Amino acid sequence: MAAGSGSGSNPKDYQDPPPAPLVDTGELGKWSLYRAAIAEFIATLLLVCISVSTVIGEKRQSGEGGAGVLGIAWAFGGLIFVLVYCTAGISGGHMNPAVTFAMVLARRVSLPRAALYTMAQCVGAVCGAGLARAMHGGGQYARHGGGANELAAGYSAGAGVAAEMVGTFVLVYTVFSATDPKRKARDSHVPVLAPLPIGLAVLVVHLATIPITGTGINPARSLGPALVLGLGTTKAWSHLWIFWVGPFAGAAAAMIYHHYILRGAAAKAFASSSYRSPHF
């Protein structure tokens, strides 16, 4: 019905979609779930293979026209833009267990879907690192650290966790803002532009944190190269916990900030419960 007809409706009225069930066993029998997991596997494989190859290539050509920190940051940011654009309509384009974790907390995906996504992302990252090793050769891969994340000399573990937490906060905050269903309902261009700010967030975070941790902000991206480089025998392996604790903490903080402060979910819930509570 057209606005102004006296119905009192407003074309800008909006209701958030219902939260995803925490456990949805019904989706386990749907091909769409496994298609999405395959998309996460392939996207994460490509992300790790190409990004790790960029890092190794820069180290091999250091001082001789290598990509440099700016080139590495652009490689990660540009690749995230492309892969999110290609897979968002199938799986949501997570490619990152921390992003998936935040989506579970926000009740956008179910636990079974999140578990399958995380497994696909981790396996994809290992395969991507293995492919990069095959491309560069085992000797070159090991000599240049396999593109693995590790804490830089002169920084404490606390500084590393903080860098990973802040970097992941920026990424996940951007993901929530760019994919906010309310914005998508209001502005038709938002779904088309969403991959761009996400890619830019990854780019600027890399510029800030490469000197500290090499920039993980993605537990799967850190796990794959560390495993291929050498299980339990490298600095990257001993520092791996930093690249899980920091990103998961940052992702949870970003979800709380966006969902409960910016979106006001907590205030709405409080107001609703106060209104409905009986008075004696």
Query: Over the stretch 113-124, which tens digit does the pLDDT of each residue have?
Result: 999 999 999 999
For the chain, the structural domain boundaries read 28-58+65-263
Question: Alpha helix (H) ranges present in the chain?
Answer: 31-60, 68-91, 97-105, 111-136, 138-143, 157-178, 181-186, 190-193, 195-213, 219-229, 235-238, 242-256, 265-276
CB 95 within 8 A of CB 43: yes
Q: How many CA atoms lie within 13 A of 37 on its CB side?
A: 18
Per-residue pLDDT for 184 more than 70? no
Q: Which of 20-24, 120-124, 205-209 has the lowest mean pLDDT?
A: 20-24
Residue 130: its pLDDT value, please? 95
Per-residue pLDDT for 142 more than 50? yes
CB atoms within 10 A of CB 44: 30
pTM (2 decimals)?
Answer: 0.85
Mean of all residue pLDDT scores within the chain = 85
In this structure, what token pair is assigned to residue 33? 């779930």
Residue 28 DSSP SS3: helix
**Those residues with Cβ within 8 angstroms of residue 249's Cβ, 6 or more apart along the chain or in another chain:** 161, 165, 168
Q: Which residue has the higher pLDDT, 246 or 268?
A: 246
CB 257 within 8 A of CB 106: no
Per-residue pLDDT for 3 more than 70? no
Question: Which CATH class, in words, describes the domain spanning 28-58+65-263?
Answer: mainly alpha
List the end-to-end C-alpha distance of the chain, in Å, as a whole number. 42
Query: Over the stretch 33-61, which tens digit does the pLDDT of each residue have?
Result: 999 999 999 999 999 999 999 999 888 77
Q: Which amino acid is at 103?
A: M
Q: Which residue has the higher pLDDT, 276 or 31?
A: 31
Q: Give mean pLDDT, residues 100-122.
A: 95
- Band the pLDDT of 7: cuts 50, 70, 90: very low
